[in-house]
Amino acid sequence: MSAHFDDIERQARLLPLKEKAALARVLIEELDTSIDVDAEKLWIDEAQRRYDAYLKGELEALSGDDVMSRARSRVTAKCL
């Protein structure tokens, strides 16, 4: 890599966590040329559908800890 790249990498590593995450998001968005312009609207519609189902008692709410535990278990199982 170039010295310029090395300098930018060094500076990025010194950023606070939130700024690193924001920088990563910007870089990934710039690299991803297959962005679906309707994706945000689709996610909002899905969130609304799930919230409505929750209010009607059709969907159970889970704690954040339970959700993260389940997600970790699924990722771990796929990595084995």
Helix (DSSP H) and strand (DSSP E) numbers for the chain: 4, 0
pLDDT in the model for residue 35: 67
pLDDT higher than threshold 80 for residue 64: yes
Structural domain that includes position 15 = 3-79
Name the nearest CA neighbour of 12 among 25, 30, 24. 24
At residue 12, what are phi and psi to the nearest 5 degrees? -65, -40
pLDDT in the model for residue 79: 74
pLDDT in the model for residue 60: 92
Report the domain count for the chain.
1
